[in-house]
Amino acid sequence: MKCPYCDAENTRVVESRPGEDGSTIRRRRECVNEACGRRFTTYERVEQRPLMVVKKDQEREEFSREKLYRGLMRACEKRPISVERLESVCADIERALRMEYEREVPSSAIGERVMDELRELDGVAYVRFASVYREFRDVETLAKEVLSLLGEAGKAR
Ligand SMILES: [Zn+2]
């Protein structure tokens, strides 16, 4: 594999280990160009057939793990949540979607699942995501959502 920094043709694998959920292999690679010598990470996973996301307007686009991850990251910005935790939440969501929907998944189902996960993970991240996703038009709707969230947190204690 090419080095992403200096474009050298050869890199060597320094370490290989299974990813958290066992469905990926994570490899640390090192550039063999001595002037560079930088390290980077690659992931190897089984090629899956595409899962199509059906949007509100019935347009379809291929499910993108990166897009899901970016959405989660945006919601969790400046929250005390590690990258590893976010990655595993992202993988959980994808796995659940692929199990439940074989070829096509409505975008609403993705949104709902993300909200379920965020609700458990972090209240602030949840409200952030929900306010964009559900397009809270006014402060009242938002406040209602926050109050119901606080109510649940109270019960959990
Ligand atoms: Zn290099």
pLDDT digits (tens, 9 = 90+) for 114-143: 999 999 999 899 988 888 877 666 667 767
Phi and psi, residue 61, nearest 5° = -140, 155
The domain ranges of the chain are 1-47, 48-156
pLDDT at 148: 76
Q: What is the pTM of this model?
A: 0.61
54-82 as b/e: b if 16+ CB within 10 A: beeeeeeeebeeeebbebbeebbeeeebe
Expressed in angstroms and rounded, the spacing between residue 34 Cα and the centre of ligand 1 is: 8
pLDDT score of 29: 96
pLDDT at 20 over 90: no
Q: What pLDDT does residue 137 have?
A: 60
**Cα 154 to averaged position of ligand 1 atoms, centre (Å):** 53
How many A from CA of 1 to the centre of ligand 1?
11
Strand runs labelled E in 32-81: 39-45, 52-54, 60-62
Across 11-25, 92-106, 109-123, least confident range = 11-25
End-to-end C-alpha distance for the chain, whole angstroms:
51
Q: Long-range contacts of range 129-132, CB-CB < 8 Å, 24 or more positions apart?
A: 129/71, 129/72, 129/75
Query: pLDDT at position 156, please?
Result: 52
Q: Per residue in 71-87, pLDDT tens?
A: 999 999 999 999 999 99
Name the residue among 54, 74, 51 with its Cα closest to residue 63. Answer: 51
